[in-house]
Amino acid sequence: MRFQLVALVLMAVCFYLSTAQVNWIEDCCLKYAKVKHHHAIQKNAISYREQTTGGSCNLHAIVLNLKRATICVNPNDSWVKNTIAMIKNKKHRRRCRGLAKPCKNLKH
């Protein structure tokens, strides 16, 4: 009788864990950072990712990874769009550094 009860409880726990959404793993921005000096942010930006409103996140944001911090900013701000372009350009230049042909002619 005990074995059947333990097996039933174990099966119920496994079923629950397999169907439950894992919301605690996702790191979501809850609000935008107030940025006074966006030039300093642009200078220290290393990478970015876009947070969409799907899943458990309710705010559309750009998550900027800086040298010493991570901040959430409004994707509609013009300086944010410029920062994304700068980050993409930096990555493009790093990729092209060791190539014999000029990288502008290559399609990426």
What CATH number is attached to the domain comprising 53?
2.40.50.40
d(C-alpha 50, C-alpha 23), whole Å: 18
Q: Is residue 17 part of a domain?
A: no
Domain that holds residue 58: 27-98
pTM score of the predicted model: 0.64
Is there a domain that residue 57 lies in? yes
Q: For residue 40, is it within any domain?
A: yes
Residue 52 lies in a domain: yes
Question: For the ranges 8-12, 32-36, 69-73, 74-78, which has the lowest average pLDDT?
Answer: 8-12
Looking at the domain assignment, is residue 6 inside a domain? no
Let me know if 72 is exposed, middle or buried by CB neighbors in 10 A (0-12, 13-18, 19+).
middle
Number of domains in the chain: 1
How would DSSP label each residue in 63-76? EEEESS-EEEE-TT
Q: Is residue 3 part of a domain?
A: no
Taking only the tens place, the pLDDT of each residue in 79-89 is 999 999 999 98
Q: Is 64 part of any domain? A: yes
- pLDDT by residue (tens digit) across 12-51? 665 565 555 454 566 899 999 999 999 999 999 999 999 9
